[in-house]
């Protein structure tokens, strides 16, 4: 199956912002959380086991994070940082999406989120044991460890 063209990806990113605006400004939600976990579309771009693209949305850690960061930018642009959040699942095996070493990818993502959106409502990190996931071999790399690791 061929990969979606960049124009189509940009359209999906725009739709994330539109959906967030509708939820907050029309439906009265307090905020929105982008579901970037469990092998859902944003997670598929992030994970090297599912993202085999060779363009600006694949390959490197930075390129694989691009879709999620651009989706968050669209959401934040639509509703503001304090009403935007993100859910991720670095160690989850649900939907067969689990990198051998998620620390570099998710540390980069967290660092970029901190830099770009310092007032983001929250980052919801799914527990390593959720849905049959297995945590990191090095227990110092935990949910809190991602944030600490991203500072180095």
Positions annotated as catalytic residues are 40
Q: Which is it for the CA torsion 29, 35, 36, 41, positive or negative?
A: negative
Q: Where are the alpha helices (DSSP H) in 22-133?
A: 41-46, 61-79, 103-116
Query: Cβ contacts of residue 28 below 8 Å, gap of 6+?
Result: none
Q: Pairing relation of β-strands 122-125 and 32-36?
A: unpaired
| DSSP assigned state of 139 | T
Q: What is the SS3 assignment for 33?
A: strand
Q: How far apart are CA 97 and CA 37, in angstroms?
A: 9
């Amino acid at each position: 199956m061929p990969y979606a063209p960049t124009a189509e990806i940009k359209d999906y990113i725009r739709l994330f912002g539109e959906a967030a605006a509708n939820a907050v400004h029309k439906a009265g939600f307090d905020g929105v959380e982008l579901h970037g976990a469990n092998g859902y579309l944003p997670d598929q771009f992030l994970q090297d086991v599912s993202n085999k693209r060779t363009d600006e949305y694949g390959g490197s850690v930075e390129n694989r994070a691009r879709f999620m960061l651009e989706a968050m930018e669209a959401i934040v642009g639509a509703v503001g940082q304090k009403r935007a959040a993100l859910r991720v699942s670095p160690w989850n095996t649900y939907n067969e999406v689990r990198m051998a070493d998620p620390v570099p990818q998710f540390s980069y993502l967290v660092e970029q989120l901190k830099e770009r959106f310092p007032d983001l409502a929250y980052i919801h990190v799914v527990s390593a044991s959720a849905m049959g996931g297995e945590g990191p071999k090095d227990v110092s790399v935990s949910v809190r460890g991602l944030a600490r690791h991203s500072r180095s």
